[in-house]
Each structure stands twice: as structure tokens, then as C-alpha cells.
Structure 1
């Protein structure tokens, strides 16, 4: 068999697994015994019956688009499936610079998502038992606990900084750029203190802006990311562009520090970057953690139509776990549809950037 035929077979197997996963989770979320109050009530307004009319992934197009404003306000327990009532529950927020933030209730999803992500990390760059630095947003966000669990799952301990991105966005909107720089320096001060304290930290999560600020501070002090002991970094954020990827690998990190791009949010979990290949010229392609989350690149005018490979469209997200069901949500991102990969035998997306119709109104903060 050729590599192509192997890939074709893997794609077929994964599509069948996705269809089965879809059927199982629609049955779970719309069964009166197990489903959540939100979806059981919502189903009354549909012109179809999810329990009998959804038999494969494509059938999810029968659902109306999910509007994330539905996630604003309470009671949040309307999202908890009846079968999971009584379990210890977290609330993670997203957005919320103005008005009521969107929130997601979580029981174990963040642990499962990051354990799956752990399986994609090379042990030579992310040594088992190594300690981690979480250099990113704290507070009511998923990332802090998720990275902490990732470190623990791999046998290490996570050290975290205190970072409130909402305060930074407020400062930017008021034009207080000097204060933004001071706050960024305050966050980097915390990271420098942790790295200098003898904790033997070898792995890190951070964002492009913060990684650059940390690397520059270390250089100013005659050191570097590598000399600080860091071997592996997973990094995410809208600033992670193809050009920045090249800059990070060639200028900030050097040959011995591994960095992998990721694309994620509170609803999706974590999409992994295609393994680095010099032939790709630093192109970044992301693959969602199927079947728990699926991304499709869809036509700007018809969200039920997937664009061709290499073509540009808007990112559409589907989430299907026992805790959360999102049958189609238009992200605030666009990109190009990419072919499946042997490691991730399903569609990917490259060139992820803010959706062009709202890009001008997007505020990027300290991270």
C-alpha cells in the first residue's frame, strides 16, 4: 500500500468513528434521562427530532447555528446533563471585557482534553516528571487549571503567574499604552522570579507576545530561554503567525528549544499543530481533537457548505463531549481548508486569523 492509500483508509475509519461518536452524543444530550435542561428545552423548537433524525455527522447541519450569547448569564446548571448532576463542577469564562461574560460548566473535559494533547508531545522536549511554567491568563479561565493538570499528568508541578487580560484590554481601549507596558513587565517579572528560584522548570505554556517579552528580558540579562532551562514550549494565541513562527525558532529560541503551535478556546479544547516540516516554510496547520471537537472551513455565505481544499472560509466549530454539545458555531476566525495528515487523518485549517468582517474591532491584549 502507498502512503496515500494508508491515509485514505485512516480518513475513512475516522469518518466512521466520527459518525458513531455523533450518534452516541446526540442520544446522550437529547435523552430525557441523561440530557441537559438547556438542550431538552431547545429541542421543542426544532422541526426535527434529534433522537431519530441525526444518524451521522453531516446530520448536524439540521441544527440551527449555535449562538454563543446563549452562554451569557445563569443559571449555568441548565447546561449540566442530568446524568452528571452532583459531580464537582467548574465554571470557566471567556470574553467579558464588557457585559456579562460567557461561561462554560466543566466537570472533567479539561482534564481529558489535555491528557489527549499530552499524547502528542515529544517526551525528549517535554520530559516526563519535569516542572512547568504557566505564563498566560489566570483567573476564571480554563487554561490555568488545564496546564496545571497537564503538568501533573506528566508527573510534574506547574508554577503560575497572575495575569488579568481584561484589565489590559481596558487599558488599551483607554489608550494607556505605557500602563500596558508596565503590566506586561509586571507579568514578566513574575516569570523571571519563578525561573530564578531553582524549581528546575523545563516546560512552558505561553503566548507569542509573552514569549517574546520573556526572551527579550532574558537576553537583556545575558541569558536565553535555553539557558533558563526550558526545553519545550507549547504556545497559542492569535499572534502566532507564520512569520512569527520563523522569528521564534530562528531568533528567540535557537535549535535546542522545541515549540509547537496550538489553537484552542473554552468551547473546543486544544487543536494541535501539524508536525514541523522545513519544507512547509513555517506554515501552521491546525487539527482539532476529533471526535470530541471538529472544525470545518465553511463558505462565508453558506455555513452548511465546506469550501474546497486550499480555499478560504470561516471556521465552524462542533463540540461533542458528554459534558457539552455544540452542533455548529461560527468562530471569529477564518483560514484555509487543509488536507488530512497521517498523524491527524481529518481536515485541518491553516492561516488562522480574525474573520475579516470583524477583524478591525478585535482588541489584542498583553497575551
Structure 2
């Protein structure tokens, strides 16, 4: 698909045979380092407004597709607003719905424009997973009448302390 649109994709390739070989050779430190490296890549990154603007400038205002993926669902990027200070996403409805809930009370949805923890529900023909709390926080985004479900915006790693966010989490 990226070839069709002349895009570039970043992928993470994991070779379990290499890890098994390292373990059999007694190189546990190397196996641990490799595994840690893979997990750090797979935990996600945060796209900041500055990064988005830099990408757009580098691409001479070309198309910059965004998506938000989490444990069991994905969300497509909607057009950015406020010079990329607001970056909204809408889930793959009806198979996935997303809510933004209070961090201390996952049963209560926050008001639109308020930050909370991302909670999703997955409903496939053969799978139902309700109320999955993600390691992410976001603004609850009102999609209006354009979409039949809420969206999320400005997704970042869930903050449970006052420490600063890192680029990777």
C-alpha cells in the first residue's frame, strides 16, 4: 500500500531464532539486550505538533498519513486542527470504539476536550473485549455528526506521575 502512494513505512522485524541461538550459546545478556530493543520499538512513539509540522515542511506539504494504534484497535487520523496543536483520530467503528475516561474512575467518561485514559471496546464476529484500559491518555474528541463514535486527540503515554514524557514509551 505504501508503494502505491510513494510512502515509507517503518517496521520492526523480530527474529526469535536469533534469540534462541543466543540463549543456547549462554549469551543471556545479549538476548536480553535484543529483546529490550525490540520491546522499546514496539511500545510506540508520540507525534508532537512540532514533529508533524517538520514532517509537513520536509514533504513540501505532501500527504502525511497518521494513525493511532493500541493493543486491540487502530484509529485513522482525521485532519489536524489549530496548526497541528490538535491531532484527532477516529476508531475503526463499529469493530472498535474508544472512550476517554477518568484515570481514577474508568467507568466515567470525561467531557469533550478533557484529557483522560483511553478505554476501548472490541467487537468482532468471534471476539468481544469490553472496557480495555490502554497505556495511553488523550483528549476526548467530538467527531460531531461526521462519525457515529467519539474520537481521541493528542494521544500520549499515560501519565501517572509528574515526570516528563520521553519520545519513546
Give RMSD over aligned pairs: 3.5
| Equivalent in 326, 348, 359 of residue 129 of structure 2 | 326
TM-score, normalisation: structure 2: 0.71
CA distance in 2, matches of 1:343, 1:139: 39
| Equivalent in 167, 172, 195 of residue 34 of structure 2 | 167
Measured against aligned partners, the alpha-carbon deviations of 1:104-124 in whole angstroms (never above 9, x if no partner) come to xxxxxxxxxxxxxx9xxxxxx
Q: Secondary structure at the match of 1:243?
A: helix
Mapped contact 2:117–2:158 kept (Cα < 8 A): yes
Alignment of 1:1-367 (within 5 A): 133-139=8-14, 167=34, 169-170=36-37, 237-250=44-57, 252-255=58-61, 257-268=62-73, 270-277=74-81, 280-282=82-84, 283-357=86-160, 364=168
Q: Secondary structure at the match of 1:135?
A: coil
CA distance in 1, matches of 2:165, 2:51: 22
CA distance in 1, matches of 2:156, 2:77: 15
Mapped contact 2:14–2:38 kept (Cα < 8 A): no
CA distance in 2, matches of 1:266, 1:314: 14
Mapped contact 2:140–2:150 kept (Cα < 8 A): yes
CA distance in 2, matches of 1:170, 1:291: 34
TM-score, normalisation: structure 1: 0.35
Do the aligned partners of residues 345 and 246 (structure 1) sit closer, same or farther apart at CA in structure 2, a change above 3 Å counting? farther
Q: Secondary structure at the match of 1:272?
A: strand
Do the aligned partners of residues 243 and 360 (structure 1) sit closer, same or farther apart at CA in structure 2, a change above 3 Å counting? closer
Mapped contact 2:89–2:151 kept (Cα < 8 A): yes
Q: Which has the larger Rg?
A: 1
Q: Give the structure with the higher percent helix.
A: 1
Deviation at residue 254 of structure 1 after TM alignment: 1.2
Measured against aligned partners, the alpha-carbon deviations of 1:184-209 in whole angstroms (never above 9, x if no partner) come to xxxxxxxxxxxxxxxxxxxxxxxxxx
- Unaligned residue ranges in structure 2 (runs of 5+): 16-32
